[in-house]
Structures are given as structure tokens and as C-alpha cells.
Amino acid sequence: MAQMLPQSSSLERAAPSPTTNRLQASLGVVSLVALVAGAYAMHAIPGSGAPAALSLLLGGALGIAFECGRFCFFCIFRDLIERRQAGPLYAILTALAISGIGYAIVFGAFLPNPASGRLAPDAHIGPVSPALALAGLVFGLGMALSGACISGHLYRLGEGSGSALPALAGALIGFGLGLRTWNWLYVTMIAGAPVIWLPNLIGYGGSLIVHLLVLGIIALSLLRWLAPLAEQPARAITPTYLRTVLLERRWNPLVTGAIVGIISVIAYLRIEPLGVTSQLGSLSRTVLHNYGLLPDRLNGLDSFAGCATQVVQTITTNGWLIGGLITGSLGAALLAGRFRPSLPRRSSSLAALAGGILMGWGAIIALGCTVGTLLSGIGAFALSGWVFGITVFAGVWIGITLRLHRWV
């Protein structure tokens, strides 16, 4: 047998006092109740109220899963590269397997005949180009330098992380730089690149078989890097024990991955593919547009699906999902006693800012981040998702080899 749950994490710190625990637990309940109450109130708003409310709830569930399962792509990749701990990576593999099965079912309803050459509506299926590979490599370097991916910084913001705000501020700058360089990259690398969607070639059944086969091969190849399963004594199921298992201990990667995969499928079925950069990128685009710092036309950008940006004046459904993610993470961290507000340090803030800039640029060029282009893209059987995922991993490996992650 192999253990799927690491015994420790560099993100876990000393336990707070009982008084602090009680106060944090109370505030955690308030946060989650406010999240649900807010979604209930929004649901009654005519028009976009129902999608916004569902996005808020899905974001809350995602934030809880990310926080309790420590679902950060950089941390998972780092554990594999630096510590030879493969257990956390099974969360990503499980999420991809579940989302692939769910997507195949949903795609069959939306587009019964994929051989027609059409693409699944709004799915994260992008062009496969050198620009995509470069974007993934730069994004991975940014992850190593800042200490987390964009979604990781969002959930760690709910934990009070001091480096999350500089990293996210850097991402906003990076989005702007990506938009400024988009036209040149589009003309030189992206415009003629193929958009390869596996169901167009071998149908949904063949795509799902290939998808699960590749994930299975990766999972089997990593078995040698799983720690032995520690014996657990029999215990009575008490409220204290349930609190320990559900809140204080890191969730089993298989459970975390299954929850993330299910959320991904529901999000695509009811609203849009899962991603966390559309609203943030749109914020950068809106500011640059208002100050006349963007070209009149961003060639081809708005024709691609994924975490595409737009000039907006309101909070989009993706914005509500991000708000729910942070609130859900905050509630989970408070309930577990992991909320540790900290002020940014100068050296780590500069590293986080620089890493955020790299991630923001990469997310614009790749039409999404590790949640959008990687998770939703691979789950949707898009070759672009695999190219981005492989190059992101390579970027993280290079960053760790260069010890960039030691700056945070």
C-alpha cells in the first residue's frame, strides 16, 4: 500500500492557542454563512443573478478544497521535483480523470458529432504554437519565483499570506504586458497555429480512452515515489476526531482531486469552463484601454475560448468565482486555525511581484493559467492543455534548479 497524504507541509505552521482557535472558528462559520447568504440574495436578482450566485458557491467550494487539500500546482510540482514526494500529484491526476469523464458526457450533449470539425462551445481549446510553449515555460518560472501559482496565491490570500498580494499585483502588471505584446506574437506565432481537439480525430470514446490511459501511465510511473502507508489506530468517531480529519489534516489527494474535478464539470455545464484569470485579466485590459495604452485591435484574441479578457465595467461570473474562492479559503483556514495574517517582507515581496509578472504574461499568451489552460484544457481533451502543462512543469523544474523559490 502507499500513502497518499504527506505528513507535513512547508505551509503548515505552529498551532495557535485554544482561545485563538475558538475565535477563528467562529469567524470561519460567519464567513461561510455570509458566502451562502450572499449567493442566496444574488440568486433573486433578475438576469445574471443565478449564474453569479452559482459561481460564488462553486468558488467557495473550490476555495475550501484548495485550502484543505493544499491544492497548489507549484507546491505539488515542488514536492515531486525537490522531495520526490509523488502523493500530492495524484490530486491533479484525479481531477483530470474526473473532469475528463464528465466533459465527455457534457460534450456529447452539446456537440453530438465531433467529427464535424467544430469545437466544443467555450471549452479551453487553444492553438498549439511556440508562443504557447514559451508562455508555459515563463509561467512555470513565475510560479517558482513567487512560491505559488495564481490560484495558489488566491487561496493563500484567504490564509493571510503576505506574499499573495504582491504576487497578484504582479500578475495584473503581467496581464498588461501580455496584452501589449499579443499582436506581435499573434502575427508571428499564433495566427497559423493548429487548434487540435482530440474528439475531432477519434471521437469522445477514443479521446477518453487515450486520456485515462495517459493519466494511468503517469500514475503508475509515480508509485515508486509514494511513502509507505502508516498504520492508523482504531478511533471512535467523535466531533473532535471529525474536526481533525475534515479541517486540521491535509485532505487525501484523491479526495481533493475528485472534488476539484466535479466542480470543474459543474462549472462548464452550468456557467463556463473553470479558470481564475478572466476577471483579473479583464481588469488590466480595462485600465489599459481607458488610458489608451492598448492598440485599437487585439488580433484574434477575442475569437479564442478560455480565460479570454474583455473590457468590463462590472464583476463577471469569473469575478464572483474568484471572490467565492478567497472567501471559502478564508472560512476553511479560520475553522482549521490556519489563518495567519502576515505582512509582506521586502525580499519575498519583490520575488513574488516579479513571479506574478511572469505568470500574468504567460496566462495572457496561453489564454489561461494552471486552472484554466492546464486543468480545464486537458480535461477537455485539448492538446494545448498538455503542451502548457508540460512546459509549466519544465519552467518550475528550471526555477527550482536555479533555486528561485528560495527568494520567497
Three-class secondary structure of residue 169 per DSSP: helix
**How many separate domains does the chain show?**
1
Q: What is the distance between the alpha carbons of residues 177 and 172, in angstroms, rounded to a whole number?
A: 9
Return all residues near 97 (Cβ < 8 A) that are at least 6 apart.
211, 212, 215, 257, 261
pTM for the full predicted model? 0.91
Instruction: Flag residues of the chain having pLDDT under 70.
Output: 1-20, 229-232
Which pLDDT score is estimated for 343? 84
Tally of CA atoms within 13 A in the half-sphere of 196 that contains its CB? 13
Residue 114 within a domain:
yes
Residue 2 falls inside a structural domain: no
pLDDT of residue 241: 74
pLDDT score recorded for residue 305: 76
Distances (CA, A) of 349 to 168, 198, 407: 11, 41, 9
What are the cell numbers at 56? 460564488
Owning domain of residue 150: 18-407
Domain-embedded: residue 50: yes
* Phi, psi dihedral angles at 197 (to 5 degrees): -120, 120
Taking each helix axis as running N to C, give the angle between helix 253-270 and helix 89-110, from 0 to 180 degrees, rounded to the nearest 10: 20
Q: Which three cell numbers stand for residue 312?
A: 468590463
pLDDT cut 90: percent of the chain above it: 74
Q: How many other CB atoms are found less than 10 A from the CB of residue 283?
A: 18
Residue 340 in domain: yes
320 in Cβ contact with 379 (< 8 Å): no
User: What is the C-alpha to C-alpha distance for residues 204 and 113, in angstroms, rounded to an integer?
Assistant: 9
Query: Would residue 1 count as lying in a domain?
Result: no
How is residue 92 written as a grid cell? 491533479
Name which of 113, 371, 376, 195 is nearest 269 in CA terms: 376
- Does residue 389 form part of some domain? yes
The answer to whether residue 44 sits within a structural domain is yes
| Cα–Cα distance list, 292 to 186, 252, 288 (Å) | 20, 49, 6
Residue 187: inside a domain:
yes
